[in-house]
Amino acid sequence: MLPGIFSFLKRLGFFSILVLSLVALSCSGAPEKAAQSGSGASAGEGVDRLSVEELAAMPKIDAHTHISGLALEEEAPFFAKLAEHNMKWLTICTRGMNWPRMQKMTDLAERLHPLYPEQVAWAASFNLSNWGHPDWEQAALQTLRSGFEQGAVAVKVWKEIGMELKDPDSSYVMIDDPRFDPLFDFIESRGKTLVAHIGEPRNCWLPLDSMTANNDRKYFAENPKYHACLHPEIPHYWKQIAARDNVLKKHPGLRVVGCHLGSLEFDVDTLARRLDEYPNFAVDMAARICHFQVQDREKVRNFMLKYQDRLLYGTDLAISAGSPKGASLEETLKTIEETYRKDYRYFATDEEMSVWEVNGPFRGLDLPKETLKKMFYENAEKWYPGI
């Protein structure tokens, strides 16, 4: 057989062989694809990608933000900035133990949502400053009922449950306390979602110099009341996680989005086990993207591909321009621009980059177009119906 092949090639001549080789190489597109992706086999051949500009132009939802202050004259430039990024915000009202603050956020959300329905959705919460009062449950249910009537798509519970709220005997109230069950049942019955920021990053239970991310180090240095390492009386990290997991077990029909990677940011394998066990559980990545960046790149990338239906893009960006302690509108708009551009690069390219939260450079994940569409838009629509 070989002599026959050699004879055939000889008849073709060298020039014809060269042409055929070039055609075959051109059809494969492999060198061009490798040059574009820069990540070789890990990116996969024939998979659609988005450039940073294409991702910026695509419809997106930031599924974890806070609008706590916005003057009338600031609305136009703020919403123009969101329009530049084709971004909708889910603004989350939070801190039930500071009821006046939460009422202010709720009033603002209820005013903005009808005016800018394509750019603002919102999540309600309930009062905890009256915890233990005989009418607490009914008052909380009425607050949720009113919020849903005004368009709220979800209900937020915050880390004050488990880390701050106490009964008269000084015991901490955990999120799996049976007194919350009627609220969770009501949220489920109305087809809404529970947004759960329970516990803190594992770094919270470590000394500042042992923390794995600079933003955690900065936050807990500035907020020592929440730095559990300094407060051994606060229930331990794993007790916080167990209490949240108990809610998932007790309410399997309730959609739950765990804020900040479900407080399991330190290891994607640990988070994956919860996603496998609880099909009613998804997570947003607000203020925890840097925890992806300190882990092994390929491990994180494989995790995101496998669980791409359960991951929601979020930032924890906030605008409080009307507050004396808040950043100016100009500063806020600059932060929004820088945050989104940085995140687009990380998820859509494999460029080497660096951020202040992480010590040392790392490479972007170069995720496929379909994964990016889910993370940045479709998953929010799925886990927050009506958003």
Average pLDDT over residues 61-71: 96
Is 0.85 topped by the overall pTM? yes
Three-state secondary structure call for residue 309: coil
Place of tokens 């051994």: 232
> Is pLDDT at 322 greater than 70 in this prediction?
no
Residues above pLDDT 90, as percent of the chain: 86
Tokens coding 252? 């399997």
Task: Report pLDDT for 288.
Answer: 98
User: Between vectors from CA 156 to CA 152 and to CA 162, what angle results, nearest 5°?
Assistant: 165
Average pLDDT over residues 267-289: 98
Rounded Cα distance, 297 and 68, in Å: 35
Task: Report pLDDT for 324.
Answer: 54
Of the candidate ranges 11-25, 193-207, 248-262, the one whose mean pLDDT is the lowest: 11-25
Of the candidate ranges 114-128, 240-254, 325-339, 360-374, the one whose mean pLDDT is the lowest: 325-339
Average pLDDT over residues 136-157: 98
> Is pLDDT at 368 greater than 60 in this prediction?
yes
State the CB neighbour count (10 A cutoff) for residue 220: 23
Q: 271-308 burial, b for 16+ CB within 10 Å, e for fewer?
A: bbebbeebebbbbbbbbbbbbbbbbebeebbebbeebb
Res. 12 pLDDT band, cuts 50 70 90: very low
Three-state secondary structure call for residue 37: helix
> Is pLDDT at 283 greater than 60 in this prediction?
yes
Residues above pLDDT 70, as percent of the chain: 87
Rounded Cα distance, 336 and 208, in Å: 27
Longest dimension (CA), the chain: 97
> Is pLDDT at 28 greater than 50 in this prediction?
no
Of the candidate ranges 74-83, 109-118, 314-323, the one whose mean pLDDT is the lowest: 314-323
> Is pLDDT at 374 greater than 90 in this prediction?
yes
What strand order describes the sheet that includes 120-124?
311-312, 281-284, 255-258, 193-196, 154-157, 120-124, 87-92, 60-69, 317-320
Task: Report pLDDT for 47.
Answer: 82
